[in-house]
Amino acid sequence: MASSPFQNVIPDSRVFRQVSLRDYSTMRVGGPADYMIEPTCEDEIMKTLHAAKAASIPVCVVGNGSNLLFSDAGFRGVILHIGKAYSRVERDGLRICAQSGALLSSVSRLAAEEGLSGMEFASGIPGSTGGAVYMNAGAYGGEIAQVLETATVYTDNHVETWDNEQMRFSYRHSAAMEKECVILSAAFMLKAGDKEEIFARMNDLNSRRREKQPLQYPSCGSFFKRPEGHFAGALIEQAGLKGYSVGDAQVSEKHAGFIINRGNATARDIRALMRHVQSTVLRESGVMLEPEVRFVGSFDA
């Protein structure tokens, strides 16, 4: 087997070849990646990025894959999978500090166990800390912008700490997106609260999520961004598209804002369904829906 361009950067035990990306996406679709690397520290993240750049190898940084659609052809490059191996979460006074691979559910649970309020909205979001900060994830009236104190980012070949203002958060957007930074860790400033009330709020939100969302199927969550003055799910439902499918990709009958994988959907199916939804909603309402999901790899159209 040919030597890896990462052999002097990361131990071979954490460099994988031809990895099926369907196992790293909550939509459960995607072909193979040439390489996948699972770092355990900041230094390994930076060294991997340096090595990939030196070898002119494309890089895609992936957390829990909850907002990504991988191509059926996979990814010709390296997937830098920041996950369980880089996921420490700890309390520091009123702060919860988390490495970027930590799941939001783990961050919100530790906060609740420590009697800290502010992360309840995030308890059911399936993403990782890095992805959530990168795209200002939110749910049920809460979003990362409301609680983030600082983020440690890798940008322009060095590490910086950005405060909330420097992140320039807006709806599903941050300055990290603009500069294509890598989120390394984050500190969330919370408030002291009653542990039972915090858990009760989390349980209520998760109950509402189970009641209204098709959690029994693979999906990327809300597929489209919320158009100004509208709700994507309502527009899709009003256009008569609930249950509409292309192959095994379907507009959820439970919540029209979700595109689900009923078992064997391909990325091609999902993209075709997305385009049909966009064109139909545009014709019926004059609103062009913009996907919230990021597309990784090569797509025909």
The domain segmentation of the chain, as residue ranges, is 12-84, 87-198, 215-296
Identify the burial level of 13 via C-beta atoms within 10 angstroms of its C-beta, where 0-12 means exposed, 13-18 middle and 19 or more buried. Answer: exposed
Which pLDDT belongs to residue 2? 56
Q: Which residues contact residue 101 at a Cβ distance below 8 angstroms, ignoring those fewer than 6 apart?
A: 63, 82, 83, 84, 85, 86, 87, 128, 129, 130
Q: Respond yes or no: is residue 71 known to be catalytic.
A: no
CB atoms within 10 A of CB 232: 23
Decide: pTM greater than 0.85: yes
Residue stretches of the chain with pLDDT short of 50? 1
pLDDT per residue over 155-204, tens digit each? 988 999 999 999 999 999 999 999 989 999 999 999 999 999 999 999 99
Decide yes or no: CATH 1.20.1250.20 for domain 87-198.
Answer: no
Which pLDDT belongs to residue 115? 97
Structure tokens at 154: 């890798």
Q: Respond yes or no: is residue 222 known to be catalytic.
A: yes
| Region 12-84: CATH code | 3.30.43.10
Which pLDDT belongs to residue 301? 54
Q: Respond yes or no: is residue 149 known to be catalytic.
A: no
- The CATH class given to the 215-296 domain equals alpha beta
- CB burial string 257-286: b at 16+ within 10 A, e below: bbbbbeeebbbbbbbbbbeebbebbeeebe
Structure tokens at 270: 């999902």
Which pLDDT belongs to residue 8? 79
Which pLDDT belongs to residue 75? 97
Q: Are 265 and 281 in contact (CB under 8 A)?
A: no
Q: Which of 160, 137, 159 is nearest to 148 (CA)?
A: 137
C-alpha gyration radius of the chain: 19
Catalytic residue of the set 71, 100, 222, 252: 222
Q: What is the DSSP letter of 84?
A: G
Query: Which run of H or of E encompasses 182?
Result: strand 182-189
Catalytic residue of the set 172, 201, 268, 271: 172
Which pLDDT belongs to residue 157? 86
